[in-house]
A and B are shown apart, each in its own frame.
Chain A
């Protein structure tokens, strides 16, 4: 009973790292073994807490990269001046413990009952919660049509490159590479703006549901362009990562 009563509370717990894998030069996915984890929703995040030997505490929030029902994983981009991310990407090894709490958030989430069509707009590491949504859609057998527009600086910065190269039926993945393009690149090579969304986004008349995630400047530009294109503001869900991370 006591355990059930505590379910609604958000308590710090210790997870064990079960795997660490590289996504790009600066990005790793950390898979966690969580003994007492209520199933999360696609798009939610968790808080990580690091405590230094002198008692100094740093907390950061990370989007959950895995679908509900899969082992909990976070994908972390190394920020050179970061307090937390360099430890997570460079030091953490399988078997290490990590203090965290979650799942957190009930706004930037999607389930099959929310419908679509879905427009997913990702800037840089903003792809992480959208990847959880894509995996959840596939695992639940949802046939909601999806267009994902993913803005990265270069092909080397594309996270989940292999997985996104083999999209499920009904999912279109469109890349734009804003800074460097490989020789022969036939895709988009510009920032996400009203003109690009005019070519890629579902028309507003289709009553799409949009999720926009990435650096704040990316989210502002993309979400404002969608609203100007006729998307109702309540159908454009946003999540901002601040000034960090590249698009």
Chain B
């Protein structure tokens, strides 16, 4: 799996809308590791992982992870310094 197999934040617009209750692909994000700032739509997204993993395009730090099970979505945003 390399970055050329990855999708981008556009692909999870529906999931993000479900979680945050609003359109998020145009929102800004800041990586908690390297400080890279870019729109959510431009982040690196892997759907093939167990769950959905969103990584920084500059340093590959995991910014967000979403796991769905039993009708719930577990959300991990620890890799982000800022969102919105």
Report yes or no: B10 in contact with A45, Cβ–Cβ below 8 A.
Answer: yes
- Those of B1-16 within 8 Å (CB) of chain A: 3-11, 13-14
Question: Of B34-42, B59-67, B72-80, which binds chain A?
Answer: B34-42
| Separation of A24 and B40 alpha carbons in the complex (Å) | 33
* Option from A105, A237, A241, A243 in Cβ contact (under 8 Å) with B13: A105
Report yes or no: A238 in contact with B8, Cβ–Cβ below 8 A.
Answer: yes
Report yes or no: A61 in contact with B40, Cβ–Cβ below 8 A.
Answer: no
Question: Residues of B at under 8 Å CB distance from A?
Answer: 3-11, 13-14, 17-18, 21-23, 25-26, 39-42
Report yes or no: A240 in contact with B8, Cβ–Cβ below 8 A.
Answer: yes
| Separation of A47 and B47 alpha carbons in the complex (Å) | 14
The list of the 3 closest CB pairs from A to B, nearest first, reads A107-B41, A104-B13, A106-B26
Query: What are the interface flags for A205-225 relative to B under an 8 Å C-beta threshold, 1 for contact and 0 otherwise?
Result: 000000000001100100000
| Separation of A241 and B8 alpha carbons in the complex (Å) | 8
* Option from B5, B17, B39 in Cβ contact (under 8 Å) with A107: B39
Does chain B have a CB within 8 A of A123? no
* Option from A8, A102, A108, A240 in Cβ contact (under 8 Å) with B25: A108
Report yes or no: B8 in contact with A61, Cβ–Cβ below 8 A.
Answer: no
Report yes or no: A239 in contact with B8, Cβ–Cβ below 8 A.
Answer: yes
